[in-house]
Amino acid sequence: MTRATKSLPALFAGLWLLLALAPALADPMPPDELVHRTADEVLAVLRADAGTDMKTLAELVDTKVVQHFDFGAMTRLAVGKHWRTADDSQRTALVDEFRMLLVRTYSVALQQFVDYHIDYRPLRLEPDAKQAVVQTSVTKDSGGKPIRMDYRMIARDSGWKVYDVLVDGVSLVVNYRSLFDSTVNRSGIDGLIRLLHDKNADGSTG
């Protein structure tokens, strides 16, 4: 397993964290500002409450962060070609189970994020742009090589949403796609739904 892959859960949590207290504005906030503007405030909150229990963290993620992610798009990309063969009820189940898995995974990872800081790259965005990539680097406060994090975002009616994250070039959805593909090939769409359901039932985060 590569260094980037090992870092995925804790580092993906960073974006959830940065978006958790994003203010609700009448006009959608630009994607880079959505991440950047709240970083210092949210990191300060986490550091002040480093001992927050898992239930509270999960509630924070579920109520404050998930609104900034397009779980439908993330699930479609992770399931890949097999999405076309799923019926409506299967698609709904896949999105619900994948969302639940990610919420718990990032709730666990939030506890590790207190020792990181984030640097941002300028974003050039056309006024009518519908997609954007927000580029950042994440470094431990104690030092070490920065890790590149790119957030793929898409403009929706309700504002900018994250639909993929890349850590040192490793995509979140592609990272899951190989597992999903092999599961569907072996057990069908219902087998993938069962796999996700079982992971959620036993508290697995991977």
Domain boundaries, the chain: 3-200
pLDDT digits (tens, 9 = 90+) for 77-104: 999 999 999 999 999 999 999 998 888 7
Residues whose CB falls within 8 Å of the CB of residue 147, separated by 6 or more in sequence, listed in order: 4, 7, 11, 137, 138, 139, 167, 168
Whole-angstrom distance, CA of residue 96 vs CA of residue 92: 6
Dihedral sign of CA atoms 148, 1, 186, 197 in order: negative
Distance CA 10, CA 43 (A): 14
Tallying the residues shown for the chain, one arrives at 206
Looking from the CA of 171 toward its CB, the CA atoms found within 13 Å total 13
The lowest-confidence range among 4-13, 34-43, 105-114, 145-154 is: 4-13
- pTM for this entry: 0.78
21: pLDDT strictly greater than 50: no
Strands of 30-181 (E only): list them: 116-120, 131-140, 147-156, 159-167, 170-171
CATH 1.10.3720.10 matches 3-200: no
Inter-CA distances, 117 with 61, 146, 151, Å? 20, 10, 16
Lowest-confidence range among 36-40, 47-51, 58-62, 202-206?
Answer: 36-40
- Tell which wins on pLDDT, 9 or 37: 37
Do the Cβ atoms of 94 and 86 come closer than 8 Å? Answer: yes
State both tokens at 146: 């920065």
